[in-house]
Amino acid sequence: MEQVVNDPDNRNNPMIQEEKKLFDGGKLLTPSFVLKVTREKTIDVSKAGFSIVFSGSPRTMFEAFGDDKNRGLVDILDEQYGKENALFVLLDIDPGVAIQRNKNRRVCSVCATAILYNDEHQHKTCPLCGGELRTRAVDNPAVLETRIKEYEERTKPIVAELEKRGYKINKVNAAAKPFDVFAELKKKLQL
């Protein structure tokens, strides 16, 4: 969704600019907008014969499970890939640790590589391509607090509902070092 709201081609789209304001302020995007985009992309990717991975989606009960008029993303995944192939991972991390990491993260303005905070190396430019490093609007502490509140109120309930529906939630300790988190993700997903 970050790519959609920050795409220069969408600068003159009033609806997407409203979504960008929500995103930049740490609020979750409008659930009907997110569900429409993720549903369409999921079907397109499935029809092309590929698997799909979502990072941070679904984020609301509506996006996950829909309502009487809209099928949610979970139903679409079941339909397109089969329930047995739908894997869910919860990156479990203390909010304080998440805030500390994200408020210090920088992103390359050229290649978009995320540069994690390191006391020994306070980079000004990207070590990969030399591009200028920037801080994302969503990585300032006030916005991070809003994002955590949004998660607790609107996203966390999805986990319980998924478990109730018989899905296994693969929990990964996201406070570990990034390479350890990645290794654990691969193990949980049997990659």
Chain segment 110-123, per-residue pLDDT in tens:
998 988 876 666 78
Q: Does 19 reside within a domain?
A: yes
AA letter at 102:
N
> Which whole number is the average pLDDT over 29-47?
93
The closest alpha carbon to 14, from 5, 25, 2, belongs to 5
Q: Does 144 reside within a domain?
A: no
Q: Which two structure tokens, joined as six digits, stand for 1?
A: 């969704």
CB count in 10 Å sphere of residue 101: 17
Residue range(s) defining the domain that contains residue 61: 1-86
Chain segment 103-149, per-residue pLDDT in tens:
888 999 999 898 887 666 678 899 999 999 998 888 888 888 998 99
Q: Is the pLDDT of residue 158 over 90?
A: yes
3-state secondary structure of 64: helix
Angle of helix 73-81 relative to helix 31-47, nearest 10 degrees, comes to 10
Cα atoms found within 13 Å of the Cα of residue 118, Cβ hemisphere only? 11
Q: Does 135 reside within a domain?
A: no
Angle of helix 95-104 relative to helix 141-150, nearest 10 degrees, comes to 140
Q: What is the pLDDT of residue 118?
A: 67
Q: Does 139 reside within a domain?
A: no
Domain total in the chain: 1
Contacts of 159 (CB under 8 A, 6+ apart): 88, 90, 169
CB count in 10 Å sphere of residue 30: 16
